Structure 1
Amino acid sequence: MGCCDVPGLMPIEDAQEKLLADIQPVSDTLTLPIGDAIGYVLADDICSPLNVPPFDNSAMDGYAVRREDICAQHTLPIAGKSMAGTPFDKVWPKNTCVRIMTGAQIPNGCDAVIMQENAHVTESGVLFNETDLKPMQNIRPVGDDICQEDVVLTKGARLTARDIPMIATLGIANVTVLKKPVVAFFSTGDELQPLGSELGAGQIYDSNRYGIKALIEQFGCEPLDLGIIADNPKQLTETFMHAQQLADVVLTSGGVSVGEADYTKDILGQLGEINFWKLAIKPGKPFAFGTLPQAWFCGLPGNPVSAFITCYVLVQPLLAKLAGHTQWQAPVSIPAITHSSFKKSPGRTDYQRGIYHIENGQVVVESTGNQSSGAFRSMSLANCFVVLERERGRVEVGETVNIELFNASISA
């Protein structure tokens, strides 16, 4: 144990390793129209059944020519037109040209296209200002983008808005994908009230479920909201048993600390197995992970920022692996110079909320202000995490820190 380790708290790196150690991707598949497949993970490679483009075509509006027919001060009569979807299919006499539009099929024998800006139409034909032509100038050859049998997307890729139109260009209407893991989630606490209700003394609105639901969806999983469950051992036990029959993962917020009404950890110990509890992370120390008879379990802290950050940092890679998203990558980390100080005590890896920007070519970062685990405004203002190492203490202005840029799950 190092000088800055806190007894009983697992380093976050160890926790991340344990979280992923036994997770196996889902295997059930379904076939979906590509218009409905965004956000799903591919169950198989997608190979192109054709060349893209499937024929030589013009890169611009202009004139299809044979280079040998081009010479200065010599006009070429127009033999016809090649339009997108309507190729020129007549006999093409020598010493003539073909009017052609962008995307139109190149006539047989054509080895260059002259853009219309370099042509002058006269009564006797077209006079070209450009005569020194390169072979295949302004021509997109067959297979220029994709060749037949190319693997264009690999198994384990999560489909994005960029992928769908590419698949459509191949003429593929349906894709086989992995079923999204189901994540059942609920909040615990007698103090929590649903939105729209009136708050009584000591009560607050339940905000965690809304952030958790949004993250689950962004992580590529199917959320199942079980609402607010009171601090009642019998009701909590029944909810756990019901949830683990419906979902691959059960996710809770609250009830994993050491308060008198924090029952979640004890119930988990009775129903399943606790792999670890209490991490060297701030915010979010009371994070629990384990198994129920039929599902994985993650217990998030109850404070809003703690719940959100631990879901993002710890649950996200777990769900990515469970979903079969083999191309998932951890958020990008880069160095930055501080423009404000950051309060920090050694002992836990600290995820503080920051705002970064580029100043004179240098990445700089400053705090969003209140870093309390209950102050979500600082999370809403942030565009990065300032990740301060376990052994590090207070950070002053001008020091170098590592910042973690938000990935698409919270920046989109």
Structure 2
Amino acid sequence: MIPLTDVRARILGAVTALEPQPVVLADALGLATAEDLIASEPVPPFANTAMDGYAVRAVDTAGADGGEPVRLRVVGELPAGRSPAGLTVGAGEAIRIMTGAPVPAGADAIVMVEVTERDGDDGVRVMQKAAPGDHVRAAGGDLEAGQAVFPARTVLTPAHLGVLASLDHQEVLAHPRARVGVLSTGDELVESGPLAPGQIRDANRPMLLALVAETGAEPVDLGIAADDEAGITATLEGAVSRCDAVITSGGVSVGDYDYVKAALDRMAALDWWQVAIKPAKPLAFGVVDGTPVFGLPGNPVSSHVSYELFARPAILQQMSHPCRFRQEVTAVAEHEMRRKADGKLHLDRARVRYEQGHYFVTRTGAQQSNVLSAMAAANGLALLPDGDGAAEGDDVTVMLLDSPCDH
């Protein structure tokens, strides 16, 4: 058996990043930038008000400090989106202004509407002294022209996209979303409907397609392939030509019919590993015409765990994400988590909660590799090294499945 870390290193050593390309902003969420981004102009582009109120000269409000209001003459109104051209605040004057509007010439402060009262058609009573700069957002207060905005390999969140839109970036140079084909194999699998004797419904493909989408890649449904070497070969050859990565499930365990193995071996020299983990011990991997191909186990929990450990990091590396691995935390075992020594790292399906500064972990149910309901109930994988497992109260390392990658 080969240690988990060695297998991961060999896979990631064979996977290269996809070539960057211009991507329209609407499609860039979750992608990694391929270059440093520099502000070409200031944001905001002009000084503007952070509040509804009145643009004033702060010096004209000094008298309001003693408790008596100051009356100023209102000489105009300035809503957001209107040019301030032709509007000037002179001595003893004010301009009614709305949030986001540019600060007019002559004004150096904004008085909030809440501390004013209208006084006739052309006046306002200011009841609180203003200081220069009050409620004024300076030009370039967010970003200055020439300032570094985001470095290369920044994974774009909604806030990043908003910043880029404010700088008029209609597209961004980024590593594209990997197209990942997912194929289930086996004569026993059916898509839906009543089951004949010996048949089961295909759970792996919908699950793996969803995992690919959750990773931020583009899932490509390759369907179900019957146990036929020529048919599997044709499907895989087509998939390799149009996908950036291909994932199969089934046909990699010792004793399985060799249709998948024969088809993959015909296309390229793949490695067939027995990884020192449970579940997900069997794994096939190779690069076919530049496309990584993963042969995952057929048992659904094993398939899910194998994706998390091997396929997800590789796909994220293809998309040039700086973080490829799930966050791991130390949690307190809420009950015994016993196991038998067998030379493997066990990854038990577990539920993690955080309370009063500590993580706590408990198993979610039966740990057999076919019990997908325990995987569905889990939000983590408890990593139990070879040995007897953990006693109640012991510290256990847990990989969080509901947190983003952090390393």
For residue 223 of structure 1, give the secondary structure of its aligned residue in structure 2.
Answer: strand
Write out per-residue CA displacement over residues 14-64 of structure 1, whole angstroms, 9 at most, x where no aligned residue.
Answer: 1111111132211162x4432233344434333322211111111111122
Query: Counterpart of 2:400?
Result: 405
Write out per-residue CA displacement over residues 82-132 of structure 1, whole angstroms, 9 at most, x where no aligned residue.
Answer: 21012443232212222211111112232221212222333473333322x
1:107 aligns with 2:99: no
Query: Counterpart of 2:2?
Result: 10
Asked whether the equivalents of residues 83 and 100 of structure 1 are also in contact (C-alpha less than 8 Å), the reply is yes
For residue 270 of structure 2, give the secondary structure of its aligned residue in structure 1.
Answer: strand
Give the 5 Å matches for 1:16-55.
Answer: 16-27=8-19, 29=21, 31-55=22-46
| CA 1:408–1:362: 2 relative to 1, 3 Å | closer
1:376 aligns with 2:372: yes
Write out per-residue CA displacement over residues 292-334 of structure 1, whole angstroms, 9 at most, x where no aligned residue.
Answer: 3442221101011111121122111111111233x33422211
For residue 136 of structure 1, give the secondary structure of its aligned residue in structure 2.
Answer: coil
Write out per-residue CA displacement over residues 149-197 of structure 1, whole angstroms, 9 at most, x where no aligned residue.
Answer: 33333333343333333222222223333343332221111211112x3
1:352 aligns with 2:348: yes
Q: CA deviation at 1:252?
A: 0.7
Asked whether the equivalents of residues 346 and 383 of structure 2 are also in contact (C-alpha less than 8 Å), the reply is yes
**Which of 191, 196, 200 is the equivalent residue of 1:204?**
200
Asked whether the equivalents of residues 215 and 409 of structure 1 are also in contact (C-alpha less than 8 Å), the reply is no
Distance in 2 separating the partners of 1:322 and 1:292: 15
1:367 aligns with 2:363: yes
Query: Counterpart of 2:267?
Result: 271
Distance in 1 separating the partners of 2:2 and 2:53: 68
Distance in 2 separating the partners of 1:229 and 1:408: 33
Query: Counterpart of 2:165?
Result: 168
Letter in 1 for 2:241: Q
Give the 5 Å matches for 1:128-139.
Answer: 128-131=126-129, 133-139=130-136
Query: Counterpart of 1:312?
Result: 308
Q: CA deviation at 1:260?
A: 4.3
Query: Counterpart of 1:76?
Result: 72
Query: Counterpart of 1:188?
Result: 185
Q: CA deviation at 1:200?
A: 1.2
Query: Counterpart of 1:334?
Result: 329
For residue 306 of structure 1, give the secondary structure of its aligned residue in structure 2.
Answer: helix
Distance in 1 separating the partners of 2:328 and 2:391: 20
Distance in 1 separating the partners of 2:261 and 2:290: 17
| CA 1:260–1:339: 2 relative to 1, 3 Å | closer
Q: CA deviation at 1:365?
A: 1.9
Letter in 2 for 1:119: T
Distance in 2 separating the partners of 1:276 and 1:144: 57
Query: Counterpart of 2:288?
Result: 292
**Which of 280, 295, 303 is the equivalent residue of 2:299?**
303
Distance in 2 separating the partners of 1:134 and 1:392: 69
The gaps in structure 2 that reach 5 residues or longer are: none
Distance in 2 separating the partners of 1:190 and 1:343: 37
Asked whether the equivalents of residues 88 and 104 of structure 2 are also in contact (C-alpha less than 8 Å), the reply is no
Query: Counterpart of 2:119?
Result: 122
Q: CA deviation at 1:139?
A: 1.1
Distance in 2 separating the partners of 1:362 and 1:295: 42
Q: CA deviation at 1:366?
A: 1.6
Q: CA deviation at 1:290?
A: 1.7
Distance in 2 separating the partners of 1:266 and 1:207: 24
Distance in 2 separating the partners of 1:353 and 1:379: 6
Asked whether the equivalents of residues 180 and 219 of structure 2 are also in contact (C-alpha less than 8 Å), the reply is yes
Asked whether the equivalents of residues 79 and 93 of structure 1 are also in contact (C-alpha less than 8 Å), the reply is no
For residue 172 of structure 1, give the secondary structure of its aligned residue in structure 2.
Answer: coil
Query: Counterpart of 1:3?
Result: none
Letter in 2 for 1:58: T
Give the RMSD, CA atoms, in angstroms.
2.3
Same amino acid, percent of matched pairs: 33
Q: CA deviation at 1:207?
A: 1.0
Query: Counterpart of 2:54?
Result: 63
With the length of structure 1 as denominator, give the TM-score of the two structures.
0.88
Letter in 1 for 2:245: V
1:85 aligns with 2:77: no
Write out per-residue CA displacement over residues 67-95 of structure 1, whole angstroms, 9 at most, x where no aligned residue.
Answer: 21122333222222221012443232212
